[in-house]
Amino acid sequence: METFLGLDYPTWWFLVVGGLFSGYAILDGFDFGAGAWHMFFRKNSSRETALKAIDPTWHGNEVWLVIGGGSLFAGFPVFYGTLFSAMYTPFILFLLFIIFRGISIKFRNMEEMLWWRKMWDWSYSISSIMLAFLLGVVLGNILNGMPLDENYEYIGRGFFEFLNPLSILVGVTSLALFMMHGAIYLLLKTEGELFNRIQQFLKFGMAFFIISYIVTTSYGFFYVDHLLTVFEENQALFVVPFLVFLSIANVPRLASKKQYGWAFVFTSLTIALLLVIVAFELYPRLLLSNSTIENSITIYNAAASTKTLKIMMGFVAVGGPLVLLYSYFVYRTFWGKVKSDFESY
């Protein structure tokens, strides 16, 4: 198989997709987290500030989902087809909540009526919570594996199979992680009374995350045997969970010193490192067939042609820096605390 800098192309593309979804989780993660806290703000002015904190940038963050999805479709079409059709119900729900979140942000301030604003506040907050949860549910199912036939088709049946203990736990954990991450983002964008309130929220957020993380990890450790195999085979990999531990421990430490900029760096790093663990769990597999292991989807049997992967590596080499440049420019423009000077639409 052709290689580039010592790695074959499917492996490169695995890294690219992993990078894109890590970027997406970090960026839209704080949007979802901010949204999850939304109903805890009592005053209309607080809610408006919280919305303004994400309004200019959430569109750009969602781009990562579109690019991530496209790169999965193009690079691992077999996996794309199987995963999306197997997870039909959660993905359809995800789409509907994406719609509701988007229009809630857009439409909330277009009318003055109290009931109108309340309605969109609820819709925005519930959508954000469900999006964070559903992302985790899909990830939990990928970690869990699912029954596949020899054409890599999902052979499970029924509406609610996507809900199993592991997927629910991973769903709750990702919600908790994003809430912690989102609270810190809001601290960077707010001041005064609201800032003080969010500091209180952050304490709950950190506790919620640490508890759900411990529960989920223990459940995986004791009940989902195949998750341990990779660490048994290569004990040096234990360094990654150790780094996760350090990264998580840094968040409360920095929060107590009110160094929220650094705390944000560490929640982002935590998200990235957790996805590194996922990558080690999977590689070179993408989806374990837990009915017949030979039917598992790997990066090799799922990959597009080497030619396509090369073309798309070119896209990433040219387009990637451009995307980062746009994001840099937009974030720089709206850097710092929310100001009341920008117009709302």
Partner 1 sequence: MDVEILSRIQFAFTVAFHYIYPPLSIGIGLIMVVFESMYIRTKNKEYEVLAKFWTKIFAITFGIGVVTGIVMEFEFGTNWATYSRYVGDIFGSALAAEGIFAFALESSALGILLFGWNRVKPWVHLVATWAVFLGSMFSAVWIVIANSWQQTPAGYHIVGEGMQARAEIVDFWAMVFNPSSVDRLTHVWLGAFLAGTFLILSVHAYYIIKGRYVLLSKKAFKITLVVAAVCSLAQLFTGHQSAEGVSENQPAKLAAMEGHFEAEAPADLYLLGWVDKKNKEATGLKIPGGLSFMLDQDFETPVTGLNAFPIEDQPSQVNAVFQFYHLMVAIGMFLIAISLFGLWQWKRGKLFEKKWLLWTFVFTALLPQLANQFGWFAAEMGRQPWVVYGLLRTSDALSKSVQANQVLFSLILFFIVYFILFLLFVYLMNKKIQSGPESEIDFDQGSLNKEISEVISKK
| Closest approach of partner 1 to the CB of residue 41, in Å | 21
Question: In the complex with partner 1, which residue's Cβ is closer, 257 or 337?
Answer: 337
Question: In the complex with partner 1, which residue's Cβ is closer, 134 or 254?
Answer: 134
Q: Which residues between 147 and 176 bind partner 1 (CB under 8 A)?
A: 151, 153-157, 159
Q: Does 57 contact partner 1 by CB under 8 A? A: yes
* CA 68 remoteness from chain centre: 11
Q: Which residues between 107 and 126 bind partner 1 (CB under 8 A)?
A: 107, 110-111
Among 253, 257, 258, 307, binds partner 1 (CB under 8 A): 307
| Closest approach of partner 1 to the CB of residue 64, in Å | 9
Q: Label residue 1 exposed, middle or buried (CB < 10 Å: 0-12, 13-18, 19+).
A: exposed
Pick the piece of the chain touching partner 1 (CB under 8 A) from 3-11, 37-45, 207-215, 325-333: 325-333
Among 26, 36, 53, 65, binds partner 1 (CB under 8 A): 65
Q: Label residue 110 exposed, middle or buried (CB < 10 Å: 0-12, 13-18, 19+).
A: exposed
The verdict on whether omega for the bond into residue 284 sits within 30 degrees of 0, i.e. cis, is: yes
* CA 82 remoteness from chain centre: 20
Question: In the complex with partner 1, which residue's Cβ is closer, 248 or 312?
Answer: 312
Question: In the complex with partner 1, which residue's Cβ is closer, 6 or 336?
Answer: 336
Pick the closest to residue 174 from 214, 218, 137 (CA basis): 137
Pick the piece of the chain touching partner 1 (CB under 8 A) from 64-72, 174-182, 263-271, 276-284: 64-72
Per DSSP, the residues of 221-275 read HHH-THHHHHHHH-GGGGHHHHHHHHHHHHHHHHHHTT-HHHHHHHHHHHHHHHH
| Closest approach of partner 1 to the CB of residue 286, in Å | 13
Distance CA 169, CA 32 (A): 18
Interaction mask 35-54, partner 1, x per CB under 8 A: --------------------
Greatest extent of the chain over all pairs of C-alpha atoms, in Å: 63
